Amino acid sequence: MSRVGVLSFLHNGNYGSSLQAFALQQVIRKLGHECEHLDYRPDLAEKCRNLILCGNSPKLVLEGRRKHQVRAEQAGMQEKYRRIGEFYERRMLLSPPCRNRRELAEVSRQYDVLMCGSDQIWNPVWMNPAYFLAFGDPEKRRIAYAPSLGVQRPPARRKQRRIRRMLSLFDAVSVREEEGARILVSVTGNRPPVLPDPVCLLSREEWETVMTRPENHSAYFLCYFIGENPAYWDRVREIQKRTGLSPLVIPVTGEAYGQTEFELLDGAGPEEFLGAVDGAEMICTDSFHGLVFGTIFEKKADLLRRYREEDPESKNSRVDHFLREIRRGGLESMRAEGISWLEQQLAE
């Protein structure tokens, strides 16, 4: 039995991030190992240092400000963050908070294995060496379970060199999308296996033990959008007119909060998010995890493309790969492959 420390996104207020972290910890425990997530909460100095040293775009600061503004202005968004924190307290084990890589290195001493994954922790647009486990004892076993690069094209050469150095410390690497595997071949010369997002590793029945159904709702279709696009709401109105179903909106953006003609499911935690997907007649979304949970709960999904195909930072590869895998072998095959790989790597 190993003691495993996992690093992934935890505090971005995203249902998919929190639920994939929960799923990975659950599976590792089911395989007979101890597991907790490193509670990485980078402070301002850590964020600024990372932005400069990694050559990330300053527009990330503007995007962060927009998210913080929505959170500051909307009580429901504050409630959502609070309930995600409660979800971690009830259902997961987390390390003491770590505000920088020095504190991550200190906490990591207690683990036999360090693991990173999944989610877009390796997206080069917002590269952070911490998510490549670039801290602590270089001799400690390092495993990457299905991190996503998110993009379809290799990053700038400077970032490629940095990725190559960081990955040289890993004992086992896998990624979440075929596009990410191709990028790493060009960067490192090695092709990693492509494995499913951790939420796919739990069955529908297992997720049903976690979810909480929303109360007192007539037949509805769920609307869950990460991006902002006026055309999304035209699609919502079209679906409402065509099906006669009522839209139920889980708001994420300022634009979503402005849709006063639709009912909002505001301030929901991860359990309520799952229940809302399960209780819907269908789901309309631009979210990768919205699509995946819709598939798990066997809901028809009206998938909207958040990014233009010619955008070099397009993250459409995530949904494209998932849809290909569903057509190829289905969830059961994906689940078996992912669990088998984890079991093998943790047994070594």
10-residue block means of pLDDT along the chain (348 residues)? 97 96 98 98 93 85 83 94 97 98 98 95 94 97 96 92 97 96 96 98 98 86 95 97 97 94 96 97 96 97 74 66 90 97 95
Nearest CA among 77, 61, 57, 12 for reference residue 253 = 77
Radius of gyration for the alpha carbons in the chain, expressed in angstroms and rounded: 20
Q: Give the global pTM.
A: 0.95
pLDDT of residue 308: 54
Contact 221, 284 (CB under 8 A): yes
pLDDT of residue 312: 52
The reply to whether omega before 340 is within 30° of 0 (cis) is no
State the sign of the Cα–Cα–Cα–Cα dihedral 94, 98, 102, 106: negative
pLDDT of residue 307: 57
Helix 59-73 to helix 75-91 angle, to the nearest 10 degrees?
100
For residue 65, give the 3-state DSSP assignment: helix
Q: How far apart are the C-alpha atoms of 254 and 68, rounded to whole Å?
A: 11
pLDDT of residue 321: 86
**Both tokens assigned to 291:** 């699509």
Nearest CA among 279, 286, 331, 324 for reference residue 304 = 286
pLDDT of residue 102: 97
DSSP-derived secondary structure letter, 98: B
Contacts of 264 (CB under 8 A, 6+ apart): 76, 248, 249, 250, 251, 256, 257
Contact 17, 197 (CB under 8 A): no
pLDDT of residue 306: 73
Q: How far apart are the C-alpha atoms of 37 and 13, rounded to whole Å?
A: 16
pLDDT of residue 315: 58
pLDDT of residue 135: 97
> What pLDDT digit, counting tens, does each position of 9-43 carry?
999 999 999 999 999 999 999 999 999 999 999 99
pLDDT of residue 238: 97
Instruction: Sketch out the chain's domains with CATH numbers.
Output: 3-203+330-347 (3.40.50), 207-327 (3.40.50.2000)
